[in-house]
C-alpha cells in the first residue's frame, strides 16, 4: 500500500434526488423519492429528508409511500443525470488521467498519477478544491474520502456523508477499522454478515482476531483470504482508468402482466431498438444477443444467440431477439422483458443474416420503413403521457415540471433552478399550449462570469470556499480528532 492518502473516492450525495431538488426550488429541504412509480416500481434514490422516514434505495415504491406518504415521488430523468455526471467526471479527469468511474455518481481518482498530491496535505487540498469546484459547476455536493487504498478511500467517503471530506492517514487504518461493523467491508452483505455473526464475529477487529484459517473454514478459500486481508487494511488494487464494458442491455418491468403474444413481440422489438441506440452511443458492437424474460410466477428465463461477427445493425438485433422469443413460453403472462448485447467490440462486421436480408430486399424491390420496424408516431394530444417530475413548457407560463397527472388533467409547477418556488396550475392533458421540454441547466453563467448556484440567485460563487468543509483525520490512534 501507499505511504500517503493519494487515492480519492468521490460519492455524490443522494445524486438523483439532489439533482431534482436543485432543479426544483419548491422541493429543496423536502423529502424526495426518485424511482419507478408503478405498483412494481422500486426506489432509485431518496433524499436525506426522505431517509429520515426509513426510505432507501432498492426499496419497493409501495413501501416507501407508506413510510413517507407526503414525499414528492418523481420519475427518473436519466438523460439529465448523465449530463450532470459528465460534468463531474470532467472535473475528476482534470485532476488525473487515472479516473475509475463506478457509476454515474461515484468514482476513484489516483491523485498521485496526476501530480496533484504526494502527501496528506496536498491530497486534502485537492479534495477541498474538488468539492468546491463541483459545487460551482453543478450546484451539488459530493463527499470525498482520501486514503492509501481504494477500499479505505471508499470507507472514508461513506464516513464523510453527507457533504464532507475524510482523510485516513497511513498507519491509522487498523485502529480506525477495528471497531467498525463487518458490513463496512466490501463484499460483506446481509448473508455473509449473518454467517459471521452466528460465529461470534461482528466487528472488523474480530475478523482479524479470528485468523485466516478460521475465515477460510467459515466462508471458503477465496472469500476467506480476501476478507482477512481487508480486515488487516491490505488492498493493493490500482485505480483503473477504463473499465471494459461486458454488455449493453435495456429492460422494462410492466405494471400489469402482458399476456398478448403480439404485444410481447412488439415490446421485444422496441427494447432491441433502444439497446442498439445505447450500443451505438457507446461506439460499440457485439456478437451475442441476449433475451431476458421474467414470467408471471417470477421465474426468469435467459436465451442467447451468438452471431458470426459483431454488429450494431438494429435489424440484426431485432431479428435475433425475435428468434429467441420464439423459444420462450409466455402463456401465463410476462412481467419483465430485456434485450442485451454482449461479446462487445469497437468495430462492426457485416452479418450474413443482414446481408441475406439486404439481398432479398433488392430482389423484391424497395421496402417501406414501417414494414421493417414500427415507426414511433407522435401520440395524439389526448394520449400524451406526463411523467411526474419531467420538464414541460407552456406557451403562456413558461418552464415548469409535472407534479402529477390523471383523470384527463395534468398539474404543473412553474419554476426554474434559479427562481423562487413557483405557482401550480392544472391543465387538460390535451392542452395544445403545453409540451414536453428539455431540462434547464442547474447552474447558469452570471453576467460577470460567476456561476449562479440554485438557491443563491445571481450571487457569484468562487471556486474556493471561505472555510474548510467538515472533515476529520486519523491521529496516531486512528480516532476522529478534529472537525473544523
Query: Cα separation of 321 and 255, whole Å?
Result: 22
Look at residue 452 in the predicted model and tell me its pLDDT: 56
- How many CB atoms neighbour CB 417 within 10 A? 21
For cell 445505447, the residue is: 278
Who wins on pLDDT, 304 or 354? 304
- How many CB atoms neighbour CB 84 within 10 A? 27
The verdict on whether 106 is a catalytic residue reads yes
Contact 474, 168 (CB under 8 A): yes
Q: Tens digit of pLDDT for each residue in 184-223?
A: 888 788 888 888 999 999 999 999 999 989 888 888 888 8
Reply yes or no on whether the pLDDT at 372 is more than 60.
no
**Thinking of the domain 247-372, which architecture would CATH place it in?**
2-Layer Sandwich (3.30)
Instruction: Pinpoint the residues of the chain covered by CATH 1.10.150.20.
Output: 179-231
For cell 451468438, the residue is: 306
pLDDT, the chain, mean: 84
CATH no., domain 179-231: 1.10.150.20
Query: Cα separation of 351 and 331, whole Å?
Result: 32
Q: What DSSP character marks residue 381?
A: G
- Looking only at the bridges linking them, the beta strands covering 165-167 and 471-473 are parallel
For cell 431485432, the residue is: 318
Annotated binding residues, as ranges?
Answer: 11, 105
CA-wise closest residue to 201 among 396, 185, 315: 185
Catalytic residue, candidates 20, 49, 100, 106: 106
Instruction: Pinpoint the residues of the chain covered by CATH 3.30.1490.100.
Output: 247-372
Instruction: Pinpoint the residues of the chain covered by CATH 3.30.70.270.
Output: 1-171+454-484
Residue 474 bridge partners (DSSP):
480
- Is CATH 3.30.70.270 the right assignment for the domain spanning 1-171+454-484? yes
Q: Tens digit of pLDDT for each residue in 40-80?
A: 788 999 999 999 999 999 899 999 999 999 999 999 999 99
Query: Cα separation of 295 and 125, whole Å?
Result: 53
Percent of the chain with pLDDT over 90: 59
pTM: 0.73
Query: Cα separation of 154 and 173, whole Å?
Result: 13
Contact 192, 223 (CB under 8 A): yes
CA-wise closest residue to 338 among 377, 374, 297, 295: 295
Residue 402 phi/psi, 5-degree rounding, is -80, 120
For cell 462570469, the residue is: 449
Name every residue whose Cβ is closer than 8 Å to that of residue 446 and which is 6 or more positions away in sequence.
Answer: 452, 458, 459, 460
For 384-387, the CB contacts below 8 A with 24+ separation are 384/429, 384/430, 384/436, 386/410, 386/429, 387/75
Look at residue 347 in the predicted model and tell me its pLDDT: 64
Query: Cα separation of 400 and 392, whole Å?
Result: 5
For 484, the 3-state DSSP assignment is coil
- Please, is 163 exposed, middle or buried when counting C-beta atoms within 10 Å of its C-beta (0-12, 13-18, 19+)? middle
CA-wise closest residue to 107 among 216, 234, 224, 242: 242
Contact 378, 23 (CB under 8 A): no
Reply yes or no on whether the pLDDT at 385 is more than 50.
yes
Reply yes or no on whether the pLDDT at 312 is more than 70.
yes
Contact 401, 418 (CB under 8 A): no
- Whether the CA torsion 38, 102, 304, 270 is positive or negative: it is positive
Residue 253 bridge partners (DSSP):
336
Average pLDDT over residues 18-22: 97
Q: Tens digit of pLDDT for each residue in 269-282?
A: 999 999 999 998 88
CA-wise closest residue to 390 among 434, 341, 342, 454: 434
Query: Cα separation of 215 and 208, whole Å?
Result: 9
- Looking only at the bridges linking them, the beta strands covering 285-295 and 300-311 are antiparallel
Q: Which fold has domain 384-436?
A: SH3 type barrels. (2.30.30)
Q: What DSSP character marks residue 110?
A: E
Who wins on pLDDT, 460 or 133? 133
Reply yes or no on whether the pLDDT at 346 is more than 90.
no
- Whether the CA torsion 47, 53, 59, 64 is positive or negative: it is negative
Amino acid at each position: 500500500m501507499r505511504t500517503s492518502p493519494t487515492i480519492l473516492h468521490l460519492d455524490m450525495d443522494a445524486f438523483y434526488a439532489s439533482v431534482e431538488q436543485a432543479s426544483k426550488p419548491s422541493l429543496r429541504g423536502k423529502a424526495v423519492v426518485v424511482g419507478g412509480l408503478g405498483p412494481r416500481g422500486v426506489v432509485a434514490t431518496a433524499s436525506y429528508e426522505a431517509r429520515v422516514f426509513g426510505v432507501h434505495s432498492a426499496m419497493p415504491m409501495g413501501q416507501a409511500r407508506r413510510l413517507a406518504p407526503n414525499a414528492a415521488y418523481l420519475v427518473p430523468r436519466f438523460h439529465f443525470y448523465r449530463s450532470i455526471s459528465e460534468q463531474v467526471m470532467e472535473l475528476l479527469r482534470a485532476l488525473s488521467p487515472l479516473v475509475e468511474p463506478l457509476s454515474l455518481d461515484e468514482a476513484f481518482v489516483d491523485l498521485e498519477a496526476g501530480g496533484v498530491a504526494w502527501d496528506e496535505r496536498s491530497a486534502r487540498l485537492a479534495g477541498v478544491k474538488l468539492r468546491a469546484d463541483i459545487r460551482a459547476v453543478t450546484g451539488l455536493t459530493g463527499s470525498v474520502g482520501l486514503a492509501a487504498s481504494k477500499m479505505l478511500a471508499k470507507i472514508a467517503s461513506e464516513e464523510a456523508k453527507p457533504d464532507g471530506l475524510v482523510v485516513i492517514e497511513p498507519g491509522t487504518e487498523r485502529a480506525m477499522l477495528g471497531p467498525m461493523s463487518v458490513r463496512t467491508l466490501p463484499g460483506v452483505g446481509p448473508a455473509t454478515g449473518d454467517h459471521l455473526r452466528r460465529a461470534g464475529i461482528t466487528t472488523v477487529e474480530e475478523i482479524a482476531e479470528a485468523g485466516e484459517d478460521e475465515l477460510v473454514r467459515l466462508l471458503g478459500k477465496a472469500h476467506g483470504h480476501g476478507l482477512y486481508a481487508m480486515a488487516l487494511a491490505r488492498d493493493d488494487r490500482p485505480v483503473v482508468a477504463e473499465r471494459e464494458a461486458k454488455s449493453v442491455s435495456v429492460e422494462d418491468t410492466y405494471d400489469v402482466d402482458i399476456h398478448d403474444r403480439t404485444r410481447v413481440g412488439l415490446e421485444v422489438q422496441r427494447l432491441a431498438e433502444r439497446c442498439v441506440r445505447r450500443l451505438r452511443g457507446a461506439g460499440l458492437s457485439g456478437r451475442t444477443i441476449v433475451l431476458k424474460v421474467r414470467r408471471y410466477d417470477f421465474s426468469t428465463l435467459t436465451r442467447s444467440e451468438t452471431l458470426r461477427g459483431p454488429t450494431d445493425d438494429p435489424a440484426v438485433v431485432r431479428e435475433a431477439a425475435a428468434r429467441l422469443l420464439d423459444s420462450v413460453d409466455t402463456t401465463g403472462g410476462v412481467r419483465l422483458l430485456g434485450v442485451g448485447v454482449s461479446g462487445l467490440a469497437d468495430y462492426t462486421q457485416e452479418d450474413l443474416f443482414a446481408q441475406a436480408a439486404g439481398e432479398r430486399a433488392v430482389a423484391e424491390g424497395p421496402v417501406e420503413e414501417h414494414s421493417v420496424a414500427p415507426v414511433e408516431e407522435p401520440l395524439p394530444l389526448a394520449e400524451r403521457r406526463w411523467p411526474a417530475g419531467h420538464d414541460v413548457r407552456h406557451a403562456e407560463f413558461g418552464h415548469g415540471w409535472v407534479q402529477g397527472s390523471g383523470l384527463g388533467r395534468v398539474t404543473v409547477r412553474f419554476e426554474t433552478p434559479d427562481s423562487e418556488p413557483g405557482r401550480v396550475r392544472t391543465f387538460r392533458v390535451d392542452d395544445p399550449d403545453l409540451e414536453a421540454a428539455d431540462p434547464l441547466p442547474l447552474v447558469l453563467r452570471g453576467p460577470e462570469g460567476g456561476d449562479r448556484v440554485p438557491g443563491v440567485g445571481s450571487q457569484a460563487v468562487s471556486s474556493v470556499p471561505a472555510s474548510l468543509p467538515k472533515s476529520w483525520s486519523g491521529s496516531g490512534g486512528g480516532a476522529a480528532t478534529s472537525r473544523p
